[in-house]
Structure 1
Amino acid sequence: MSKDLTAPGGPSPLSQLRAEAHTGSGARWLYSDQADALARYALKFHEGVRLMEACAPTFHEPVRDVSWEMIGADSDGENWEDHRDPQRAYRLFRAKLRLAARDGVRLKYKLWLGRGA
């Protein structure tokens, strides 16, 4: 898949990723800017990131923090089932992207989307 999710011609790559993110497998692994584009696109449909996994294609030491790895195993009140608020979920997602960037970690992301309450 092209890194550019706005490439013209054929079905929208974002709509395809959105459909994938509603399956049990989630969307394919995405770079942070692609994952952010998908999360923002989902907001247009009142959907939010209900689960997220992250992986490092290459591992760098020392690991300082791992809170940027996942959405869905957060503190009480922060998980999708606790609030089902797409904007709140997006803020948590963006915070995790910032934490990874702060630590110099280059990750790929897998997202699952859900409809807001």
Structure 2
Amino acid sequence: MSDRLTAVDRLDAWRRAAQGGDGSPWLRAAEAEALARFALRFGEGVALMEAVATRFREPVRDTGWEILGDDPEGENWEDHHDPQRALDLLRRKLARARHDGAVLEYKLWLRASHG
């Protein structure tokens, strides 16, 4: 039970950080998805996501692995403010990076839905 509380506490700390200007700490893919799922409970979604190569902490070569607000119309947070749609986009981005063999860490910014 204490392990579960620790995990929830960690997710809550990441969530609070992701609500601010600096975003979440750098997270592995599974942690980023866990944070996005956790944020759904509070009506929040991933508005932005940066990625870096884990080994060298360098910017990624393919911005298609990130959520920067320049995805096709209707996919961006500003287009819909829908936490579930934001989670779906995050999952597609993580899957694409995995498929491409990229080992990345992610920084998320969360925003509350408007509806």
TM-score range, shorter chain: 0.7 to 0.9
- The answer as to whether partners of 1:52 and 1:72 remain within 8 angstroms in 2 is no
- Kindly indicate whether residue 52 of structure 2 is the aligned counterpart of residue 55 of structure 1: yes
SS of aligned partner of 2:65: coil
- The answer as to whether partners of 1:64 and 1:103 remain within 8 angstroms in 2 is no
Q: Give the structure-2-normalised TM-score.
A: 0.84
RMSD: 2.2
For 1:32 and 1:19, the matched residues in 2 are separated by 19
Shift, 1:7, TM fit? 5.5
Shift, 1:87, TM fit? 0.4
Richer in helix (by share) = 2
- The answer as to whether partners of 2:18 and 2:108 remain within 8 angstroms in 1 is yes
- Kindly indicate whether residue 20 of structure 2 is the aligned counterpart of residue 23 of structure 1: yes
Question: Cα 1:66–1:24, aligned 2, differ >3 Å: closer, same or farther?
Answer: closer
Q: Which amino acid aligns with 1:44?
A: R
Question: Cα 1:101–1:12, aligned 2, differ >3 Å: closer, same or farther?
Answer: same
Structure 2 residue runs without a partner (length 5+)? none
Q: Which amino acid aligns with 2:18?
A: A
Instruction: Look up the match of 2:92.
Output: 95
Q: Alpha-carbon deviations, 1:35-66, whole Å to 9, x = none? A: 1110000000111000110111237xxx9954
Q: Give the structure-1-normalised TM-score.
A: 0.83
Q: Give the aligned length.
A: 109
Once the two structures are aligned, what percentage of the paired residues are identical? 51
Shift, 1:11, TM fit? 7.4
